[in-house]
Chains A and B, each alone.
Chain A
């Protein structure tokens, strides 16, 4: 899956999970700030991404994955490693 496809699927997953349109959010925006997520909503969001892409975020770095770019990079690397 290339990064453009990952980004599209990620946007769709986040839209469904947050029940909000992500339209104006760009790759480097802080999702926690832009989507007004509290700590529980942030965890639920990462849970949705893990399930959708069949990946696992390292637990001690959960707070790092706050932008679409970081999520796309992580998913892309994880999928390459899985091949």
Chain B
């Protein structure tokens, strides 16, 4: 860990890790892909070759270079090469709409592009891009390895673009010291070691995956494995075949593991086959109350035969807000790592193992992150991991800070033992006809029902422009009867305190919309519903 604290920049860290771990495997692809892997030494050599080519091409210190590449071992290699040339990396998540990629390139004033074999035609209209490299050209053997450009700790390492459902993307400026400080703090609270293997499932340009799933493992001498697939059954196959120990989990994998557990619970007679569609919450409840330890051990053994016996930790990210998952994972012998973060804080703010945290908590703040609860319970952050602001957007930067503290836009609290709890998004606040401010997270716990597989609260627009807190439910299997659902809703509503009563229920045919890491997109759902409703009204007129 000292190597992280002593490094002035991320490329310097990679150089140090190459000295320390040499021929140990750093980056690889799932075994079934047949692709070659890279040792720590090979990674550092590739970084130097790439940096030399970028410098030779005429890119100058501080120039911005877009990295548009799918998840594979060359992704971090190219990223560190960009940084080692003294340039600012602008990672772009693959699959983003072309107009968004173009807007990012324009806003960043990107002078260079490192991409895959594709033509990136959406970027042909961006006049600032003078230098284009495919990743194969950039990293090919043959270039003379040069020293690269020495970066200072305060030099900008990357621009991380964030986007909301309604706002234009913003570029968060992150320096080497921001990222190294978050990394050093993260390593103080999690255990990973040489020999561990991390499956990198989220897009590598996702800052959470970059920190927790890539640079975090590398700093421990562990191996990062790219699955090369999005199909959840093959992710499970990779867990087994590549002897994966850790991963940042996506909802698709979580559900696939859950299916494996259900198969075993049904085979062991714990759950009747016809109850297969019951909610995750009900399964979690049954596991905690009704299963004898001997049966649980048998179930765990059955699941492990399918998913392999090496996996021990899954980082849940956004999905951590649902406290049903940790006991489900525990039944399979997997530790759930819960946490909270935001791009503006490099990104991890808090982290902890679920079994060591109170239910619903997202762990304790990392050692170097100061957390304060401000007006309206808004969480405020300060410390070396926090960004200096947004690139080319002074107004947004001024709005984001209050007396030197970063305003997160999240509401929360810290308990007497220092555990952090999130209680809602400020932007998701609903103002009712009575003028009262209520948050979805306050109302949602009142509506737990076996008839609902999933539910959330989001505002419908009232006649006077006020918010009508509305329950959106996805019925559990075999509970599609509208009258029964309505009856369940009315009964729960009547039992709720008056200020927490939802103003109606809407049944959804699809699962709740979620982000990559599993957070429910309440604003998106509300906007979608309100727009459809308005269109229908116009149609009726």
Q: A residues within 8 Å of B by Cβ?
A: 19, 36-38, 40-41, 43-44, 46-48, 50-51, 56-57, 59, 62
B256 adjacent to chain A (CB < 8 Å) = yes
B107 adjacent to chain A (CB < 8 Å) = no
Contact present for B256 and A47 (CB under 8 Å): yes
Q: Could you say which residues of chain B place their CB within 8 Å of the CB of A62?
A: 230-231
How far, in angstroms, from A59 to B514 measured CA to CA in the complex? 23
* Closest partner residue, chain A, to B32 (CB atom): A56
B232 adjacent to chain A (CB < 8 Å) = yes
Q: Known: A19-B477, A59-B230, A62-B230. Contact between A43 and B252, CB under 8 A?
A: yes
Contact present for B232 and A59 (CB under 8 Å): no
Q: Could you say which residues of chain A place their CB within 8 Å of the CB of B511?
A: 38, 40-41
Contact present for B231 and A46 (CB under 8 Å): yes
Contact present for B230 and A51 (CB under 8 Å): no
Q: Could you say which residues of chain A place their CB within 8 Å of the CB of B231?
A: 43, 46-47, 50, 57, 59, 62
Q: Could you say which residues of chain A place their CB within 8 Å of the CB of B163?
A: none
B228 adjacent to chain A (CB < 8 Å) = yes
Q: Known: A44-B252, A44-B255. Contact between A36 and B509, CB under 8 A?
A: yes
Tell me how far the C-beta of B72 lies from the nearest C-beta in chain A, rounded to whole angstroms. Answer: 12
| 8 Å CB contact of B510 from A38, A43, A59 | A38
The listed residue with most A CB atoms (<10 A of its CB), out of B228, B229, B231, B510, is B231
B358 adjacent to chain A (CB < 8 Å) = no
Q: For chain B, which range describes its interface: under 10, 10 to 19, 20 to 34, or 35 or more residues?
A: 10 to 19
Tell me how far the C-beta of A45 lies from the nearest C-beta in chain B, rounded to whole angstroms. Answer: 10
Q: B residues within 8 Å of A by Cβ?
A: 228-234, 251-252, 255-256, 277, 477, 509-511, 513-514
Q: Could you pull out 18 A-B pairs where Cβ atoms are within 8 angstroms?
A: A19-B477, A38-B511, A38-B513, A40-B251, A40-B511, A40-B514, A41-B510, A41-B511, A43-B230, A43-B231, A44-B232, A44-B255, A44-B256, A47-B233, A50-B231, A50-B234, A59-B231, A62-B230
Contact present for A43 and B232 (CB under 8 Å): yes
Tell me how far the C-beta of B472 lies from the nearest C-beta in chain A, rounded to whole angstroms. Answer: 14
How far, in angstroms, from A38 to B256 measured CA to CA in the complex? 16
How far, in angstroms, from A37 to B277 measured CA to CA in the complex? 17
Q: Report, nearest first, the 8 A-B pairs whose CB atoms are least far apart.
A: A47-B233, A40-B252, A47-B231, A59-B229, A47-B232, A36-B509, A36-B510, A19-B477
Tell me how far the C-beta of A57 lies from the nearest C-beta in chain B, rounded to whole angstroms. Answer: 7
- For the A-B complex with A37-B510, A43-B252, A57-B231 known, give 10 more contacts whose Cβ atoms are closer than 8 Å: A19-B277, A36-B510, A38-B511, A40-B252, A43-B231, A44-B256, A50-B233, A51-B233, A62-B230, A62-B231
* Closest partner residue, chain B, to A51 (CB atom): B233
How far, in angstroms, from A67 to B255 measured CA to CA in the complex? 24
* Closest partner residue, chain B, to A37 (CB atom): B510
Q: Could you say which residues of chain B place their CB within 8 Å of the CB of A48?
A: 233
Q: Could you say which residues of chain A place their CB within 8 Å of the CB of B232?
A: 43-44, 47
Tell me how far the C-beta of A7 lies from the nearest C-beta in chain B, rounded to whole angstroms. Answer: 22
* Closest partner residue, chain B, to A38 (CB atom): B510
Q: Could you say which residues of chain B place their CB within 8 Å of the CB of A56?
A: 234
Q: Could you say which residues of chain B place their CB within 8 Å of the CB of A43?
A: 230-232, 252
How far, in angstroms, from A67 to B350 measured CA to CA in the complex? 44
Q: Could you say which residues of chain A place their CB within 8 Å of the CB of B252?
A: 40, 43-44
How far, in angstroms, from A44 to B231 measured CA to CA in the complex? 7
How far, in angstroms, from A46 to B514 measured CA to CA in the complex? 20
